[in-house]
Each structure stands twice: as structure tokens, then as C-alpha cells.
Structure 1
Amino acid sequence: MTPFGLRVRELRHHQRITLKKMAGDLQISAAYLSALEHGHRGRPSFSLVEQMCSYFNIIWEEAEELQRLAALSHPKVTLDTSGLSPTATEYANLLAREVRTLSEPRLKEMLSYLKKSAALK
């Protein structure tokens, strides 16, 4: 599951909307919506996220957060380290290989560190 998929599912459950109803209302297939929620499809288009914001009647910060989560929810990440240091390339390759073995607490710790680093820029 992706961060975007998890948030959409939370919004849907909070408003007691079935996956089938939401998919029909948005004129997308239930299979596609399910795949988005479970992280089996790439990130949704900007316009679909906007439709979802309207559908859930969310605005401002909450809508921006959903857009941010969509941008960070591509389940098949490609990382280009050309031009970076050998350390960066090694780190990226080890992370790709080992990410499935990391515990949730360790992943949260690493994510927190990266978020803090990104906020300093």
C-alpha cells in the first residue's frame, strides 16, 4: 500500500463510502481504484487527485497533503545516481535491495531523517 492509497482508504472509510460507489461516482473502474489503494498502480494523475479532493470535500492543507502523498506514492521507484558520489550509488542500491527487510520502526526512523534533511533545504 502507498501513502496515497492509505489516505484515500481512510477518507473513504471515514465517510462510509464503498470502493464501488466511489469508483462509479468518479467514473473510474473499481479495479483501478482498488489498485491505487493497494499500491499496484503508479501515481494518479493530478486531475484525478483533484477530483478526489472535490469528492471528499477537502480543501487547502488537506488537499495539498493528498497531492503530496500522490506524488510520493509511485510503487516502482527509479533512482538515477549518475553524477553523484560512489557512496550515493552504493546507498541507493543497498536500499533498493534491502528495503523489504527493514522493520517498520527502522523505516520510520530513516524517513524522519530524510524529511528533516529535505526541510533544511
Structure 2
Amino acid sequence: MLTPFGKFCRKLRIDNGELLKDMAGKLGVTSSYLSAVENGKRNVPREWTEKIISIYTLNAEQQMEFNQVVQDSQKVVKIDFEGYNNEDKNTVLALARKFQGLNEDDKILIKDILQKNKGRD
């Protein structure tokens, strides 16, 4: 099933009169690899973000949309735990493991806490 990233790239190709193999060539990968990313079988490689923005000269609005679809299409997220103590690591991992089982009220509460602390970063 096509991810938001895949839909964005498909539209980009159509707008530029390109085929999947054309975009794959510009990214330096095979068509099958690009297809796997677009279909959510692989994560969007981090280096593709700047590459696609540059290759297709995306304007500010397109860049914002593109960054959002990349984020929405990620199935796996890596967390850099450098500087975290063991208790904080365990808390983050517990949240990740248990998040799906939380009810909507608890999820809203967590999101509210995170939004409130957003300015402290």
C-alpha cells in the first residue's frame, strides 16, 4: 500500500514527466528499492530528504508537506540514548511498548504534557 511519501513522490514524478526508474536513478538506487520505500516496506532514508528537495527544487510549502509525509511514512524510529540515564531509557522504551494499549484519554494526557513542555527544549 502506498505511503504518504509514496503518494507525494508519485505526484512529483507525474508533475515532472518521470517514471519510477527516473527518480530512482536520480536517488542512486534501484527502482525496486524506491518502490519498497514508497510502499512502506522500508523506511525513507534520511539522506533522501535533502536530496529530493534539491533535485526537484521544492518550494517552502512543498518542503513542509514533504517533511510531514516523510515523518508520517516512517515505520521505525531510532532513538539516540546518549546522555540518558537507565531510568529515562526504560521510561521511553516502556512508553513505546505500551502506547498502542493506552486508551484515548491517556494518549491525550501524554500529548498535552509533551506540548506543555515543548518550549523547554
Normalised to the residue count of structure 1, the TM-score between the two structures is: 0.60
Does the CA-based 8 Å contact 1:2-1:75 persist in structure 2?
no
Does the CA-based 8 Å contact 1:2-1:74 persist in structure 2?
no
Greater C-alpha Rg: 2
Match in the other structure for 1:71: 71
CA distance in 1, matches of 2:30, 2:45: 13
Match in the other structure for 2:39: 38
Matches within 5 A, 1:76-115: 82=94, 89=98, 92-93=100-101
Against the structure 1 CA distance between its residues 55 and 81, is the aligned structure 2 distance closer, same or farther, given a 3 Å change threshold? same
CA distance in 2, matches of 1:34, 1:44: 13
Normalised to the residue count of structure 2, the TM-score between the two structures is: 0.60
CA distance in 1, matches of 2:94, 2:23: 42
Where does structure 2 lack aligned partners over 5 or more consecutive residues?
A: 78-91, 116-121
Provide the secondary structure at the position in 2 that maps to 1:41.
Answer: coil
CA distance in 2, matches of 1:92, 1:54: 36
Where does structure 1 lack aligned partners over 5 or more consecutive residues?
A: 96-113
Match in the other structure for 1:10: 11
> How many residues of Structure 1 are paired with residues of Structure 2 in the alignment?
95
Match in the other structure for 2:48: 48
TM-superposed deviation, 1:12: 1.0
Displaced runs of 4 or more, over 6 A: none
CA distance in 2, matches of 1:19, 1:37: 10
TM-superposed deviation, 1:54: 1.6
Against the structure 1 CA distance between its residues 24 and 81, is the aligned structure 2 distance closer, same or farther, given a 3 Å change threshold? closer
